[in-house]
């Protein structure tokens, strides 16, 4: 039976967003994402700037029948705001006999991040990991964090430098669970908090899929005053959000979250880190662009955090801090 193929190109910043919109409406098994620039050698580490505006091609397939036009309209309408704001191309339509007519069948997306992380398809077979590789398997869900967004990439690059085995860490705003799984695979024990139930379920799925249940606890909750902040997309209050009181419990906190949340939680971060004789108290913040950097750093410096490292990709920035004693 013929298929209707819809395709569009999109950016690093928007690819998660496109997937989130699609996941709500169609079976993600019929969606294929390929990196735009396949010339990039697989052992190349992430560049600081991505030159090409378009980073990914997304193709999706629908049955070609009497309902196709309506289905197509729905998807085009869904994605048109992204096209209007210049972060996705218009949707192109073709009727094809089989998937990937006229193009090379995309290989499953394997995305290398930093020196160690490799994001693979959610159902990829368990292969023995090369000693220097850490495999992350993630299902596409409505939760943020496929590993393709710059903020996630930058957070992972800092985590691979600062996580050491036996650390106890907090992942605030765990989304898809990608950072929690990565930290567990680096040897940490993790408390993963998200105030959104969809993200909590996605994190639980990622934890099971990657076999790190022993190391990661997942709770629908937030840290201190973060529990009263409501949903990040709309701000409305959310029920059943547990409040984790800030008390000296963690060796490191990572939060890929909006700048205003980092600013509001500066004191809660500070009170949640524990003193050990040997290790510094560490914080990693991501989720904002350089225009918010000064405000975030000012708020965190005021409670004793000192910037010790950074990662940048286009206008996105992630910072690592040490808390002075
Ligand atoms: C940008 S996503 C990050 C997902 C993932 N950690 C990553 O790095 O890709 C931010 C997540 O924080 C969650 N979030 C936003 N505000 C929050 C708050 N006040 N407390 C807890 N979670 C929050 C959102 O639901 C969302 O899943």
| CATH code of the domain covering residue 271 | 3.40.50.150
Q: What is the mean pLDDT of residues 91-102?
A: 81
**Is the pLDDT confidence value at 37 over 80?**
no
Instruction: Note whether residue 148 is domain-resident.
Output: yes
CA 5 from centre of chain: 27
**Is the pLDDT confidence value at 242 over 60?**
yes
Which residue lies with its CA nearest to atom 13 of ligand 1? 173
Predicted confidence (pLDDT) per residue in 178-226, tens digit: 999 999 999 999 999 999 998 999 999 999 999 999 999 999 999 999 9
Predicted confidence (pLDDT) per residue in 81-95, tens digit: 888 888 889 999 988
Instruction: Note whether residue 151 is domain-resident.
Output: yes
Number of C-beta neighbours around residue 113 at 10 A: 23
Which residue lies with its CA nearest to atom 12 of ligand 1? 173
Which of 178, 194, 236, 255 should be mutated for ligand 1, with most atoms under 8 A from CB?
Answer: 194
Is the CB of residue 16 below 6 angstroms from any atom belonging to ligand 1?
no
Angle, vertex CA 19, rays to CA 92 and CA 228, nearest 5 = 145
Angle, vertex CA 249, rays to CA 246 and CA 250, nearest 5 = 105
Q: Which of 13-17, 75-79, 132-136 has the lowest mean pLDDT?
A: 13-17
Same domain, 294 and 201: yes
Q: What is the average pLDDT value for the chain, to the nearest integer?
A: 85
**Is the pLDDT confidence value at 34 over 60?**
yes
Question: Domain boundary residue among 65, 96, 127?
Answer: 96
Is the CB of residue 205 below 6 angstroms from any atom belonging to ligand 1?
no
Contacts of 114 (CB under 8 A, 6+ apart): 45, 46, 153, 156, 157, 160
Same domain, 80 and 205: no
Number of C-beta neighbours around residue 132 at 10 A: 7
Question: Domain boundary residue among 40, 70, 96?
Answer: 96
Q: Report the share of the chain in percent with pLDDT over 90.
A: 48
Q: Could you tell me the residue range of the domain that residue 166 belongs to?
A: 143-323
Which residue lies with its CA nearest to atom 9 of ligand 1? 145
Q: What is the mean pLDDT of residues 102-110?
A: 62
Same domain, 166 and 45: no
| CATH code of the domain covering residue 16 | 3.30.70.120
Task: Provide the number of structural domains found in the chain.
Answer: 2
**Is the pLDDT confidence value at 1 over 90?**
no
Q: What is the pLDDT, as a whole number, of residue 126?
A: 67
**Is the pLDDT confidence value at 258 over 80?**
yes
Instruction: Note whether residue 237 is domain-resident.
Output: yes
**Is the pLDDT confidence value at 277 over 70?**
no
Instruction: Note whether residue 137 is domain-resident.
Output: no
Is the CB of residue 141 below 6 angstroms from any atom belonging to ligand 1?
no
Assign 303 a pLDDT band (cuts: 50, 70, 90): very high
Instruction: Note whether residue 214 is domain-resident.
Output: yes
Same domain, 160 and 88: no
Cα of 194 from ligand 1 centre, angstroms: 6
Cα of 261 from ligand 1 centre, angstroms: 10
């Amino acid at each position: 039976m013929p298929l209707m193929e819809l395709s569009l190109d999109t950016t690093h910043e928007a690819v998660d967003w496109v997937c989130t919109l699609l996941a709500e409406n169609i079976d993600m098994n019929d969606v294929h994402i390929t990196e735009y620039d396949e010339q990039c050698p697989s052992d190349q580490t992430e560049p600081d700037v991505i030159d090409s505006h378009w980073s990914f091609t997304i193709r999706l397939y629908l049955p070609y029948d009497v309902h196709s036009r309506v289905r197509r309209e729905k998807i085009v309408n869904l994605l048109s705001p992204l096209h209007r704001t210049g972060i996705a191309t218009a949707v192109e339509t073709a009727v094809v006999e089989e998937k990937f007519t006229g193009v090379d069948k995309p290989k499953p997306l394997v995305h290398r991040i930093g020196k160690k992380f490799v994001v693979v398809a959610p159902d990829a077979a368990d292969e023995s990991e090369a000693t220097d590789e850490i495999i992350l398997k993630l299902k596409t869900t409505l939760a943020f964090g496929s590993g393709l967004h710059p903020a996630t990439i930058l957070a992972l690059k800092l985590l691979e430098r600062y996580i050491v085995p036996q650390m106890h860490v907090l992942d605030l705003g765990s989304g898809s669970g990608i950072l929690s799984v990565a930290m567990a695979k680096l040897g940490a024990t993790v408390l993963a908090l998200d105030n959104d139930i969809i993200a909590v379920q996605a994190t639980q799925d990622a934890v099971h899929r990657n076999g790190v249940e022993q190391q990661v606890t997942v709770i629908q909750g937030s840290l201190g005053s973060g529990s009263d902040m409501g949903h990040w997309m709309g701000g409305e209050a959310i029920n059943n959000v547990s409040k984790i009181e800030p008390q000296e419990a963690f060796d490191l906190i990572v939060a890929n979250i909006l700048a205003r949340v980092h600013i509001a939680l500066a004191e809660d971060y500070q009170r949640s880190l524990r003193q050990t004789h040997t290790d510094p108290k560490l914080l990693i913040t991501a989720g904002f662009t350089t225009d918010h950097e000064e405000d975030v750093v000012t708020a965190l410096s005021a409670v004793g955090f000192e910037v010790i490292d950074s990662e940048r990709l286009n206008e996105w920035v992630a910072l690592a801090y040490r808390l002075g004693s």
